């Protein structure tokens, strides 16, 4: 076989190898693309499921709060939450229900630095339950007391919320612009039930 024939044969072999490699490369890329598409779709489905759970949980929390509002004959109920969890620096209200004529508290407590209400925050962490009949005398934190007073709050009931490790994840605060009608013991029973329904499904505040 002369040189030209050898070169032609070698060229054919190289061309065949190149063709096989091209097919293999395309197959691997298609496989990779399918795997990527699967992973993306899986993440989308997980995100949809997570968002649905959050929506369902939020509806349940609001429902419990509305029931509590009317059972206590309160004027305003909200949940104040520390965040970010594990390195708590701020307080925020996301969940709030109120009577129509009552000013909302939510706009006043959004990413509030805990250091601004350190004394009150300490009380929220320390006490499982607080029955406050006189805001001006029982709330020692002057800034917290001024916020309550400026929103017309005269009395309040507070219930700590825990996670399954018994760490503080928030507090339900029920406010009254007039004198409470419910006794401390009855309030404690209602707040305990509400906390049981809320604390393990309460979504954390996203910064």
What SS3 string covers the chain?
Answer: CCHHHHHHHHHHHHHHHHHHHHHHHHHHHHHHHHHHHHHHHHHHHHHHHHHHHHHHHHHHHHHHHHHHHHHHCCCEEEEEEEECCCCCCEEEEEEEEECCCCCCCHHHCCCEEHHHHHHHHHHHHHCCEEEECCHHHHCCCHHHHHHHHHCCCCEEEEEEEECCCCCEEEEEEEEECCCCCCCHHHHHHHHHHHHHHHCCCCCCCCC
CA–CA distance, 187 with 180 (Å, rounded to integer): 10
> Cα angle at 46 between 62 and 194, to 5 degrees?
20
Predicted pLDDT of residue 23 = 76
Verdict on whether the full-model pTM lies above 0.85: no
CA–CA distance, 152 with 105 (Å, rounded to integer): 10
For residue 139, what are the CA distances in angstroms to 76, 97, 149, 155, 191?
A: 18, 22, 11, 10, 20
**What does each of the 207 residues of the chain score in pLDDT, given as a tens digit?**
565 565 465 556 666 666 666 776 777 777 777 666 556 555 565 555 455 566 789 999 999 999 999 999 999 999 999 999 878 899 999 999 999 999 999 999 999 999 999 999 999 999 999 999 999 999 999 999 999 999 999 999 999 999 999 999 999 999 999 999 999 999 999 999 999 999 999 999 986
Predicted pLDDT of residue 88 = 85
Predicted pLDDT of residue 113 = 96
């Amino acid at each position: 076989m002369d040189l030209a024939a050898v070169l032609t044969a070698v060229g054919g072999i190289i061309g065949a190898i190149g063709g096989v490699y091209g097919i293999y490369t395309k197959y691997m890329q298609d496989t990779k693309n399918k795997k990527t598409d699967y992973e993306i779709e899986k993440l989308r489905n997980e995100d949809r499921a997570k968002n649905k759970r959050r929506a369902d949980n939020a509806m349940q929390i609001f429902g419990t709060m509305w029931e509590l509002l009317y059972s206590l004959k309160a004027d305003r109920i909200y949940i104040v939450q520390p965040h970010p969890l594990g390195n708590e620096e701020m307080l925020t209200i996301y969940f709030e229900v109120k009577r129509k004529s009552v000013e909302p508290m939510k706009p006043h407590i959004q990413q509030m630095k805990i250091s601004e209400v350190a004394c009150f925050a300490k009380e929220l962490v320390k006490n499982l339950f607080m029955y406050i009949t006189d805001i001006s005398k029982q709330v020692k934190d002057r800034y917290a007391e001024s916020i309550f007073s400026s929103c017309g709050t005269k009395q309040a009931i507070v219930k700590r919320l825990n996670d399954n490790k018994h760490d503080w994840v928030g507090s339900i605060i029920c406010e009254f612009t007039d004198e409470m009608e419910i006794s401390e013991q009855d309030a404690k029973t209602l707040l305990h039930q509400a906390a049981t329904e809320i604390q393990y499904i309460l979504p954390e505040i996203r910064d």
